[in-house]
Amino acid sequence: MPDAQLDTIRWFHQVTLKDGRVTPGQVDIARHEHLYLFDRLELHGKSLLDIGCWDGYFSFMAEQRGARRVLSLDDPAFRWGGLDGYNFLHQHFQSTAEWRKGSIFELPDERFDVVLCYGVLYHLGDPLAAMINCFHAALQEVVFEGVIYDSDLPTLFLIAPHELDGDPTNVYAMSTGYLEKVAAMCGFARVDCQMRRYASTALRRFFRKASPRTDRAAMRFRRIADLTPNYRASCFSVPPKALLGRTAP
């Protein structure tokens, strides 16, 4: 795709190109990598799965930072915009990353050193099955980002259609305790958490009331054991990818 078509693409990610131009997306990811804990990942020589890749910012940056294999997974039918942005960047960066149409409920039959799941879980009706699939697919680390609120209780907060930012696809906010408990059942422990802070001063943050449906965070987990929860597949609206092998007590 020629560079002349840059402004005709419906971008989501702002990506700095080789000539210094920036794609006109909605989200300045490069300036906010720390909010996704992406800047803390050691990717050299690693394989990486980018679930919900959209325009592919994290896929291409992982590749540029030494990842030996990158698989970008998405389904444009479930979001606005198509593949033009990804295809443009793939050609522009002369990338070897692979794009594949797929679902978090039916991940590729392959395991990766690092799994990224950014901006996905809160759009799902069955986040538990989705998280188990992510953990099963990861050999070393998983990073989630989304509508996550700070609480030790393993709870979900139901979001009505259009309640959050007018978006009918938002379903659940979830607590940090929820993610940690699911991670533990899958043999992972938390190593990082980045909560977003919207108030401009410490005093405002102190008096700010928690609003689970609007809080955002990123959480990073590392594998410490080879476990799979012993839930029966019939318990899930969509069965987890795998319920085989060793089980959590």
* Tokens representing residue 88 in the block: 């443009």
For residue 210, CA distances in Å to 64, 147, 175, 204 come to 38, 12, 12, 12
Whole-angstrom distance, CA of residue 70 vs CA of residue 112:
9
Q: What is the dihedral of CA 77, 59, 172, 195, to 10 degrees?
A: -150
CB atoms within 10 A of CB 230: 11
Pairing of strands 69-74, 47-51: parallel
Q: Which two tokens stand for residue 39?
A: 């800047």
Per DSSP bridges, beta strands 217-223 and 138-146 are: antiparallel
* Helical segments of 26-167, H only: 57-64, 84-92, 127-137
Beta strands, E only, the chain? 47-51, 69-74, 98-101, 112-118, 138-146, 148-149, 156-158, 172-175, 188-195, 217-223
- State the virtual CA torsion across 101, 26, 15, 117 in degrees, nearest 10: -40
pLDDT of residue 240: 73
- pTM assigned to the model: 0.90
Could you tell me which of 185, 134, 176, 184 has the C-alpha nearest to residue 156? 176
Q: Check residue 78 and report its DSSP letter.
A: G
Q: How far is CA 38 from CA 81, 92, 200, in A?
A: 24, 22, 24
Per-residue pLDDT of the chain (249 residues; tens, 9 = 90+): 455 578 788 888 889 999 889 998 888 888 899 999 999 999 999 999 999 999 999 999 999 999 999 999 999 888 877 899 999 999 999 999 999 999 999 999 999 999 999 999 999 999 999 999 999 999 999 999 999 999 999 999 999 999 988 999 999 999 999 999 999 999 999 999 999 865 445 555 555 555 677 789 999 999 999 988 888 777 777 767 665 544 444
How far CA 109 is from CA of 144, 185, 226, in Å, comes to 20, 21, 17
Helices 176-185, 127-137: axis angle to 10 degrees equals 50
Residue 190 has phi, psi (to 5 degrees) of: -70, 135
The pLDDT value given to residue 234: 77
Q: What are the structural domains, with CATH classification, of the chain?
A: 3-235 (3.40.50.150)
| Residue burial 106-125, b: 16+ Cβ < 10 Å; e: rest | ebeeeebbbbbbbbbbbbbe
